[in-house]
Amino acid sequence: MFLLVLVVVFLEKKEYTIVNLVAVSNLGANLDLFNIAVSIPSVEYEPEQFPGAIMRLSEPKMTITLFKNGKINCAGAQKESDIPKGIINTCKLLKDITPDIKIPTNPQYKIVNLVANAQLDLKVDLFNLATKLDNVEYEPEQFPGAIVRLYNPKISLLLFKNGKMICAGAKSEQEIVDSIARIKKLLK
């Protein structure tokens, strides 16, 4: 006798798409930003306007802000696995100019901001939302969306009447999931 077992796995579809991931790290060496800007074409440095140098990476596509003390900000990644790749590629580019830099095999970093887009699949009465809740700013003459500020964790949501939403300030994907659940509950 044959026993046919059919296993169906339903993958939960994400309700959101990460559009920007921001992380911070430390290269462990002081940086000569002027020399770096002169040596690497993809680096912009204008110290009279901003104290850091801006490096644009093509692989992975992201922007690295370099500071003299070796601290860096990584922005523009769309998945977390791009962050260590970006740090390693930055170290490789800087190694010839700054010999003190070590190329890490497992770079240390901290995610400080996730930005995600979401579709709530419902129409939202923004005026009603703004009058019902204290933590909502809605001025349709100035901006077509409502700004909803959530606390614990501190996350800002831009909510539009067609149900589209931008979530900013999350430190993890779980915080994004939780904020979507919280706003859905508030909208009921």
Over residues 43-64, the pLDDT tens digits come to 999 999 999 999 999 999 999 9
Separation CA 67–CA 47 (nearest Å): 11
CATH number of domain containing 39: 3.30.310.10
pLDDT of residue 13: 61
181, containing H or E segment? helix 173-187
Buried b (16+ CB within 10 A) or exposed e, 114-147: bbbebebeeebebeebbeeeeebebeeeeeebbb
- pLDDT-based confidence at residue 11 (cuts at 50, 70, 90): very low
142 and 100 in a common domain: no
Query: What's the residue count for the chain?
Result: 188
Contact assessment for residue 152 and residue 59, using Cβ atoms and an 8 Å cutoff: no
Q: Domain span at residue 53?
A: 23-111
- pLDDT-based confidence at residue 8 (cuts at 50, 70, 90): very low
62, containing H or E segment? strand 61-66
Around Cβ 61, how many Cβ atoms within 10 Å? 12
Does the pLDDT at position 165 exceed 80?
yes
Q: Which residues pair with 66 in a beta bridge?
A: 53, 72
Q: Is there a domain that residue 16 lies in? A: no
Mean pLDDT of 15-44: 96
172 and 143 in a common domain: yes
How many CA within 13 A on the CB side of residue 129?
Answer: 27
Report long-range pairs for 34-43 (Cβ below 8 Å, ≥24 apart): 35/97, 36/66, 36/94, 36/97, 36/98, 39/96, 39/97, 40/93, 40/94, 40/97
- Residue 157, token pair as written in the block: 């949501």
128 and 80 in a common domain: no
Contact assessment for residue 120 and residue 163, using Cβ atoms and an 8 Å cutoff: yes
Does the pLDDT at position 177 exceed 70?
yes
CA 108 to chain CA mean position, Å:
17
Tell me how many domains the chain contains. Answer: 2
Mean pLDDT of 132-143: 94
- Name the percent of the chain in helix, strand, coil, to the closest 5: 25, 35, 45
Last residue of a domain, one of 77, 111, 145: 111
131 and 106 in a common domain: no
Q: Is there a domain that residue 55 lies in? A: yes
Q: Is there a domain that residue 175 lies in? A: yes
Contact assessment for residue 80 and residue 21, using Cβ atoms and an 8 Å cutoff: yes
Q: What is the pTM of this model?
A: 0.84
Q: Is there a domain that residue 2 lies in? A: no
- pLDDT-based confidence at residue 188 (cuts at 50, 70, 90): confident
